[in-house]
Amino acid sequence: MQELGKKENDMQTLMPKGFYTCVKNLGIKDETLDFTVIMSSTVANAAAMFTQSRFCGAPIPIGKKNVANGKLQCFVINSKNANVATGEEGIRNVQEIVNLVAQELAIAPENILPSSTGVIGHQLPMEKIRNGIINLKEQLVEGGLEKSAQAIMTTDTYPKCKICKVGNATLVGIAKGSGMIEPNMATMLSYFVTDAEIPAATLQTIFKEAVNQSFNMVSVDTDTSTSDTVAIMANGLAGKVDIKQFTEALNNMSIDLAKEIARDGEGATKLVEVTVNESSSFAQAKKVAKSIVNSPLVKTAIFGKDANWGRIAMAIGKCEDEVDLNPENISIYFGETLIYQGKPIDTVDLSVIQEYLENSEIQIKVSLGLGNEEATVWGCDLSYDYVKINGSYTT
Amino acid sequence: MQELGKKENDMQTLMPKGFYTCVKNLGIKDETLDFTVIMSSTVANAAAMFTQSRFCGAPIPIGKKNVANGKLQCFVINSKNANVATGEEGIRNVQEIVNLVAQELAIAPENILPSSTGVIGHQLPMEKIRNGIINLKEQLVEGGLEKSAQAIMTTDTYPKCKICKVGNATLVGIAKGSGMIEPNMATMLSYFVTDAEIPAATLQTIFKEAVNQSFNMVSVDTDTSTSDTVAIMANGLAGKVDIKQFTEALNNMSIDLAKEIARDGEGATKLVEVTVNESSSFAQAKKVAKSIVNSPLVKTAIFGKDANWGRIAMAIGKCEDEVDLNPENISIYFGETLIYQGKPIDTVDLSVIQEYLENSEIQIKVSLGLGNEEATVWGCDLSYDYVKINGSYTT
C-alpha cells in the first residue's frame, strides 16, 4: 500500500471523487466534535458488517436492512451516546435521524447507514440533533474524511485515517476504538470510501475477507461492543481498477487501522502482536492467539516489562477444548528469542527479553507443532490507565 | 453450616481425628512458609478434581493417577514455584518428592497427592526440598490445618480456612487464590479433610457437585490456572454421618471458600456476586453471569463506584451464541434496584446506586425472561493494584 502524505492539504487533494462530509459539534456530551455525515454524490455500491451482540444498538438493525441490497449513499454517525438499551424510543430516534438527514440531503432514507457510539442506556438528546441537521446540505464540504475521523472518537487519543491510491482511484478508511473492543465478525466503527468502480457482490466478498483478517483479529479488552460497524461505499467515479490490487490495498489498510485501534487501546502503552503457527487449523491458531493477547496476566506482565513467559504457557493451556495441544511440541518466542521448546531454554538470558520489552511493539510467537495453519492477532497491554479511564467513564 | 471459633486453640481441639500436618519454610523463594504435608493416620477415602489446562503442572497427572482408586493418605504441597512448563525434569522432580515423602512417612507413594503453585517455568530447587523432607515424620503435629492454609498462599492477603461439625465428625477446608483464577471443572488449590466415614463413590459424587457450584463459579481474572487442584480425604475415624447433612456442610463450606477466593482476588476491593435467573438453561445462566463478572469494563466500573449499568447490557449482549436473548425481555438490577426492564427505568435515582456501590459486596441480578433456570457466580473488581501486582510478580 502506498500511504500518502498526512498534511491536510495533501489529504484534501487526494480524496476520492464525489464524497462530501459535514463534521460538527451538536453538544451531545461536551464541546468536542460529535457528529458527521459522509455522503457520496451518487448512490454507491456498498458492503457492511455489524456486531453480533444480542444487545445491539438501535442503529444496527436499520443499517443492516439498508445495506442489504448492496447500495448506500450516506453514513451518518454520532459519538458520545451509543443509543443502546434504549427500548422503542431509541429505535424511533434513529429512524427520525435517518429521515431528517435524507430530507435535508434529498436522498433516499434507505440509502443511509446510521451509527452511534458512546455511553449505553441514555436517550439521544434529540432536540440538539434535530437542530444540527437543519441546512445540512449547505454545510457539506468535498473530502474532509480526516475530520470525520475526529468526530467519531470516544476515548481514542488520536484520529485514525488512512488514504491510498489504487490505479486512478483512491481508497480512504477511518476508524475509532478504543475500549469495549473485541470485535466478532465485525468491528468498532470504521468506514471506507473509494471512487473505484467495484461490483457490489465483489465488494462484499473482498470486504468480508479484509475485515476477518484485520478488525476481527483485534482485542483491547475482550468486551465486544454493542455498536460495532464497519462499512464501505464505492461510488465508481474514478472508473474500474485492478481488483487484485484493490483487494490488497483494502486488506493492508484494514490491518493498519486495526493495529492503530490496538495501539490506541484504552490505557495502552504497547501494541502486542501474537502469531500462532504450526496449528492444525486457522480456528485453533486464532483461539490460542486470542487467549494469549486477552490474558490479563500476560497483558500486565507486558505493561510491567516482565519476561514472565510462563503466563503465555498458561494462556495456551487454558484453551482446554484444543485437546491436541501438547506442551512437548510447543515453542514460545518473545520477539526472535526462543524461550521454551518442550522445556525452558536454559541458555536464554532473561535480561535480553527484559530489554526487548522496552519496545513499543511487542511480538509473541508460538509454534504448536501440529500443522501448517497460522493466525496473527493484535492487542495491547493492561495498564493503570485502563483502570483509571474505565473506573470513571460516565454517570 | 455451624462455623466454629477461629482462635487457634479452638481450631486445634476441633480438628478432625487422625490428621497430622507439617508446615515449614524451605526457602523456595523467600522466608515465608512454602511447604506443607497433610497426612491421615490411615488410608482415607478420597476424591479430587484438577485443572483442564492443556499446559498443566507436572504434579497434576501424578495426583490424577494416585486418586483414581478413591484412596489417599497424604497431600504434599509447595508454594512459590508451580513446577509448570518444566519438561521431563519437572516430572522427575515431583516423582522424587512423592517418593521421599512416602519413605519418610512410611506410607505408599501411590497414596500421595502432590501440588505446586507459584511461578511457571522454573525448576524446583530440589536440594532445598530434599533437605526439607528429612525427618519429616518427627515434625508432624496433630491438626494444624490453619497453618497449612498459610503455607499454600502466593499473592493471597490472608489464609483461608473453614471448620464445621457434622454429627460427631468435623470437616475442615483450606484454599488459596488469588490470581490466574477462572477454574474450569476444578479449582485453584483447596483441600478438605474430615474424619467422617463416607464411601469413596459417594464422596466423589458429592464432592464434584460441591465444586461445580462453588469453585467452578468463581473468576478473578479469566486466567485458568495450570495447577488448579481441589481434593478431599475422609478417614472415617469419627464414624458414620448423615450424608445429607454432610453434603450440605460441604456445599456451604465450598461456597464460603470460593467467595473468600473472589473477595481476596488480586487487587480486589469488592466481592461481586452475579445471579442470572429466568434462564432457559443452567449453562446459559452461567455463561451470561460469567460474561458479566469477567468483563473488564464492568469490573472497572464497580471499582470506580460508577453506576454504569450499560456495561452489564454489553456483557449480556456479547454472549452471541445465546440467540434467544432479547433485550426486550431482560431486567437488570444493582442490589435490589431495578434499572433496566426492556428500557431504562426513568424513575431510578442513580445516586442510590452510587451509594450502593460503596458496599464491599456488590450484587448484580439479571432476569432473562426465558425460563426457570439460574446460576450464581462470584468475582471481584479490577483495580490499580491488580495491574501493580501483576506488572511486577516475577523474574
- For A190-216, the pLDDT digits (tens) are 889 999 999 999 999 999 999 888 888
Between residues 172 and 191 of chain B, which touch chain A (CB distance below 8 Å)? 179-180, 182, 184
What pLDDT digit, counting tens, does each position of A332-375 carry? 999 999 999 999 998 888 889 989 999 999 999 999 999 999 99
- Give residue A180's pLDDT: 66
ipTM over 0.95 threshold: no
Local confidence band at B386 (pLDDT 50, 70, 90 cut-offs)? confident
Local confidence band at B362 (pLDDT 50, 70, 90 cut-offs)? very high
Q: In this structure, what C-alpha cell is assigned to residue B266? A: 488480586
User: What gap in Å lies between CA B387 and CA B392, rounded to an integer?
Assistant: 9
Q: Is A197 annotated as a binding residue?
A: no
- Give residue B39's pLDDT: 96
pLDDT above 60 (res B183): no
- Give residue A235's pLDDT: 92
**CATH 3.10.20.340 domain locations along chain B:** 271-390
Q: Among B383, B305, B380, B295, which Cα is nearest to A388's?
A: B383
Between residues 343 and 382 of chain B, which touch chain A (CB distance below 8 Å)? 343-344, 350, 354, 382
**Bridge partners of residue A338, in order along the sequence:** A333
Q: Among A327, A325, A295, A326, which Cα is nearest to A308's?
A: A295
- CB distance A222–B294 less than 8 Å? yes
- CB distance B318–A223 less than 8 Å? yes
User: What gap in Å lies between CA A305 and CA A321, rounded to an integer?
Assistant: 30
Residue environment code for B54-78, b if the CB has 16+ CB neighbours within 10 A, otherwise e = bbbbbbbebbeebbeeebbbbbbbb
Chain pair A-B, CB pairs under 8 angstroms: 248
**CATH 3.10.20.340 domain locations along chain A:** 271-391
- CB distance B343–A85 less than 8 Å? yes
Q: Among A53, A30, A186, A50, which Cα is nearest to A118's?
A: A30
**Residue B248 DSSP symbol:** H
For residue B19, give the H/E element and its range: strand B19-24
Contact B377/B284 with Cβ under 8 angstroms? no
Pick the CATH number of A271-391 from 3.40.50.300, 3.40.50.2300, 3.40.605.10, 3.10.20.340: 3.10.20.340
Residue range B276-298: mean pLDDT, rounded: 94
Phi and psi torsions of B25, nearest 5° = -105, 125
Please list the alpha-helical segments (H only) found in B136-222: 145-151, 200-212
Q: What is the CATH number of domain A8-263?
A: 3.60.70.12
User: What gap in Å lies between CA A383 and CA A362, rounded to an integer?
Assistant: 15
Residue identified by cell 477462572 is: B182
Local confidence band at A277 (pLDDT 50, 70, 90 cut-offs)? very high
Contact A86/A94 with Cβ under 8 angstroms? no
3-state secondary structure string, B274-290? EEEEEECCHHHHHHHHH
- Active-site residue, from B117, B187, B194, B224: B187
Annotated active-site residue B187? The verdict is yes
**Bridge partners of residue A169, in order along the sequence:** A166
Catalytic positions of A, written as ranges: 187
Phi and psi torsions of A100, nearest 5° = -65, -45
- Minimum mean pLDDT range among A26-30, B11-15, B294-298: B11-15
Q: Scanning every residue of chain A, which has its alpha carbon at the shortest distance from the alpha carbon of B183?
A: A318
- CB distance B222–A222 less than 8 Å? yes
Q: At residue B240, what is the residue type?
A: K
- Minimum mean pLDDT range among A8-17, A242-251, B204-213, B344-353: A8-17
**CATH 3.60.70.12 domain locations along chain B:** 8-263
pLDDT above 60 (res A2): no
Q: Is A395 annotated as a binding residue?
A: yes
User: What gap in Å lies between CA B125 and CA B143, rounded to an integer?
Assistant: 28
Local confidence band at A85 (pLDDT 50, 70, 90 cut-offs)? confident
Q: Is B266 annotated as a binding residue?
A: yes
Q: Among A196, A203, A240, which Cα is nearest to A16's?
A: A196
Quick check: bond before B53 cis, omega within 30? no
Q: Among B110, B37, B105, which Cα is nearest to B71's?
A: B110
Return mean pLDDT, chain A. 89
CA dihedral A292, A298, A303, A304 (to 10 degrees): -150
- Give residue B336's pLDDT: 93
Which residues neighbour A85 within 8 Å (Cβ) at sequence distance 6 or greater?
Answer: A55, A120, A121, A226, B310, B313, B327, B340, B343, B344
Contact B195/B45 with Cβ under 8 angstroms? no
At residue B48, the 3 state secondary structure works out as: strand
Q: Among B30, B45, B34, B46, which Cα is nearest to B229's?
A: B46
Q: Scanning every residue of chain A, which has its alpha carbon at the shortest distance from the alpha carbon of B304?
A: A391
Q: Scanning every residue of chain B, which has its alpha carbon at the shortest distance from the alpha carbon of A385?
A: B384
Which residues neighbour A68 within 8 Å (Cβ) at sequence distance 6 or greater?
Answer: none
Contacts of B382 in chain A (CB under 8 A): 296, 387
The CA angle B137-B143-B149, to the nearest 5 degrees, is: 95
| d(CA A56, nearest CA chain B) in Å | 7
Q: Does any CB of chain B come closer than 8 Å to the CB of residue A323?
A: yes
- Helices and strands in chain A: count of H runs, count of E runs: 12, 14
Local confidence band at B185 (pLDDT 50, 70, 90 cut-offs)? very low
- CB distance B84–A224 less than 8 Å? no
Which residues neighbour A279 within 8 Å (Cβ) at sequence distance 6 or greater?
Answer: A285, A288, A368, A370, A371, A372, A373, A374, A375
What pLDDT digit, counting tens, does each position of A160-191 carry? 899 999 999 999 999 887 666 665 433 478 88
Q: Among B23, B16, B6, B34, which Cα is nearest to B141's?
A: B23
pLDDT above 90 (res B156): no
- CB distance B53–A184 less than 8 Å? no
Which residues neighbour B362 within 8 Å (Cβ) at sequence distance 6 or greater?
Answer: B270, B271, B272, B273, B302, B334, B335, B356, B381
Q: Is A318 annotated as a binding residue?
A: no
What pLDDT digit, counting tens, does each position of B42-98 carry? 999 999 988 888 888 899 999 999 999 999 999 999 999 999 888 899 999 999 999
- CB distance B387–A386 less than 8 Å? yes
Q: Does any CB of chain B come closer than 8 Å to the CB of residue A221?
A: yes
Contact B76/B98 with Cβ under 8 angstroms? yes
Q: In this structure, what C-alpha cell is assigned to residue A381? A: 497491554
Residue range B107-124: mean pLDDT, rounded: 92
At residue B364, the 3 state secondary structure works out as: strand
Share of chain A above pLDDT 70, in %: 93
What pLDDT digit, counting tens, does each position of A100-158 carry? 999 999 999 999 999 999 888 889 999 999 999 999 999 999 999 999 999 998 888 88
Q: Scanning every residue of chain A, which has its alpha carbon at the shortest distance from the alpha carbon of B296?
A: A221
Q: Scanning every residue of chain A, which has its alpha carbon at the shortest distance from the alpha carbon of B122?
A: A344
What pLDDT digit, counting tens, does each position of B37-56 carry? 999 999 999 999 888 888 88
pLDDT above 70 (res A8): no
Q: Closest partner residue to B55 among A55, A85, A317, by Cβ?
A: A317
Q: Among B388, B380, B385, B392, which Cα is nearest to B267's?
A: B385
Local confidence band at A394 (pLDDT 50, 70, 90 cut-offs)? low
Q: Does any CB of chain B come closer than 8 Å to the CB of residue A50?
A: no
Q: Which CA distances in Å does A82 have to A85, A126, A224, A312, B241?
A: 9, 13, 14, 35, 58
Return mean pLDDT, chain B. 89
User: What gap in Å lies between CA B362 and CA B308, rounded to an integer?
Assistant: 14
Superfamily of domain B271-390 in CATH is ArgJ beta chain, C-terminal domain (3.10.20.340)
| d(CA B229, nearest CA chain A) in Å | 15
